[in-house]
Amino acid sequence: MKYAVYVFFFVFGYSIYAQNGYWQQAVDYTIDAKVDDVNDVLDGKETLIYTNNSPDTLKVLFFHLYWNAMKKGTSANQKLGVFNSIEGDSSDDDFGQIDVLSVNINGEIIPMKVFETIGQVPLKQALVPGANLTLTVVFRSKIPSCFNRCGKNNASGTDYTFTQWYPKLCRYDRQGWHTDPYFGREFAGTFGKFKVNVECNASFTVAGTGTLMNKKYLAKGWKNLNPSEPIKGKTNWVFTADKVHDFAFAMDREWVHQSQRIDSIDFHFFYNKNYETQWTNLATKWQKSYAICKREFGTYPYPQFSFIQAGEGYMEYPMCTMLEGSYDFYSTACHEFMHSYFYGIYGSDENLYHWMDEGLTQFAEARVSDIDGIKENIRAQDIAWGFSTDEPISTAANHFAGDYSYFYAAYNKGQLFAEIMQYIIGKEAMRQGFGKYYRTWKFKHPEPNDFVKVMEDASGMELTWFQNYWLNTSKPIEIVIDSVWQTPQGLTVRLDNRGIPMPVEVEITLKNQTKKRYYIPIDLTNKSKSEFAIPSKELPIWSCALPSYTFNLAELRLKEVEKIRINPDGALPEPEEGGAFVNLN
């Protein structure tokens, strides 16, 4: 009888949940990791509880084995110069890999089929909708020399960086399995809980994702919360984290530690004393930057965040970031923290929608790092370089022609997507949109339509036309002044559009230095913008069907005008061949 009642509520509850339309999977990890710093290996055992909230029956599971990209002779070594660079003049100790030793489901060992960075586990009993599955994976990770975000002995002196270090379940969502091979670019994960126990030599300090449960950090080193636990030889570090989709940590013997509490959030700073000036600068300024972040993008929802001098370059992970941090990197640190929103809180698929992380993070960085308020207007032209190598931003991260094209699309065009959207709808509507995005999509997996929809709701404008142009084509924004003349109706100006339709702002400077602003809405938005840096007179609508637009200003005469400029605040990219400015002197 108990079983029958359970099934009734189980099925009934699941059907209500599924009818809501949106669903996402869940996975909880319990990981025991033993770090051998003599032989540079990590021996691990992970138990996963995977819940199938989808309407689909799953017959196979897929895993990411990221460190196999650093295995000698893999395709990643052939594809990326960062891997090739250590071929030939390096030893086998420089390479890394993950070996899966066993997969246990219901007491039965199931072989994992592996091709480089993806492992495949067939299920003898299919995982039906609403059910969960427990499996245990035993693995060994050979620690590489520090390159591509992880490894031993980084450039700033950190002993070990463990990122992408364990077999990680691939994402399954409305598009099915996301089994993208790893070529050193982007990630996708499934939200859940982590409990991670790291056993290592007691001389190390360990920092990373999650809340440290059994120790307390000191200015140098640590102490046990349980004073009876020995601190010689080996020791354990226990971390827990909830509503995250990855786990990373780093270890070092010599770190200096600072911390500060802001709004009940503990911010930690772990660094090599040789770089104390740069890291103290970060810690000193951080309260001002976080205040901007909270106001513009929402409250950081986790109990702690750690800035860690580790890794290669600069890379984000849930509740922490790995910063090589050997120069003045304040803006970069702000960038990496904002990843904890657009990568961490919003778990978008970074391979498919890289710009939703990198581009929106760039947009946020420009605001959060500006603690002195000197970047009131961000000029699009300072961001919009490299159109000659442009590929559509909708190209998946792994499939750009090269690093330059990927970087420009994910970072620059991604930031421009947000900057231009703000130009279209106004700053206050953009702020309200980010607020709704936070409230609606934190701890979920938003896609481009979801981001655009909240901005439409905030502004009352139609924006899918811009989404399609900017993400799915390589068309430029190229609106120019074709001609200016005097007619009986007054000053007459003709504009030509050679690319994406766009609302236009025009500034006319008279010879007496009076400036007049005008705003030309377009039909595609179905609504005019109401917020301007300088009050502007609205002109008739420009139809997207017409490549040219002519307007008359009865209140002005050609002889009174010194110059005419479209895009006077630089919110849009400038046409490559000019034409946005006419000097009539």
pLDDT per position as a tens digit, 535-549 = 999 999 999 999 999
The whole-number average pLDDT for the span 137-148 is: 89
Q: Which residue has the tokens 């905030």?
A: 458
The whole-number average pLDDT for the span 266-285 is: 95
Q: Is residue 404 domain-shared with residue 508, that is, in the same domain?
A: no
Q: Is residue 569 domain-shared with residue 465, that is, in the same domain?
A: no
Residue 82 pLDDT: 46
Q: Is residue 396 domain-shared with residue 532, that is, in the same domain?
A: no
Residue 13 pLDDT: 42
Q: Is residue 530 domain-shared with residue 564, that is, in the same domain?
A: yes
The whole-number average pLDDT for the span 220-244 is: 88
Distances (CA, A) of 203 to 150, 223, 233, 234: 20, 11, 8, 8
256: phi then psi, degrees, rounded to nearest 5? -95, 145
Q: Is residue 28 domain-shared with residue 119, that is, in the same domain?
A: yes
Residue 200 lies in a domain: no
Q: Is residue 554 domain-shared with residue 416, that is, in the same domain?
A: no
Residue 484 lies in a domain: yes
Residue 91 lies in a domain: yes
Give me 434's structure tokens: 């980010």
Domain range spanning residue 130? 22-190
Whether 314 shows a pLDDT value over 80: the answer reads: yes
The whole-number average pLDDT for the span 25-37 is: 98
Residue 89 pLDDT: 61
pLDDT digits (tens, 9 = 90+) for 448-500: 999 999 999 999 999 999 999 999 998 999 999 999 999 998 999 999 999 99
**Domain count within the chain:** 3
Residue 19 pLDDT: 42
Residue 8 pLDDT: 37
Whether 418 shows a pLDDT value over 70: the answer reads: yes
In this prediction, residue 215 has a pLDDT band, given cuts at 50, 70 and 90, of very high
Q: Is residue 483 domain-shared with residue 463, that is, in the same domain?
A: no
Q: Count the Cβ atoms, other than its own, within 10 Å of residue 452.
A: 20
In this prediction, residue 337 has a pLDDT band, given cuts at 50, 70 and 90, of very high
Q: Is residue 534 domain-shared with residue 401, that is, in the same domain?
A: no
Residue 372 lies in a domain: no
Pair 582, 562: CB distance under 8 Å: no
The CATH number that applies at residue 105 is 2.60.40
Whether 15 shows a pLDDT value over 50: the answer reads: no
The conformational region for residue 518 under phi > 0 = left, psi -120 to 50 = alpha, else beta, is beta
Closest CA to 310 of 228, 208, 213: 208
Beta bridge partners of 553: 491
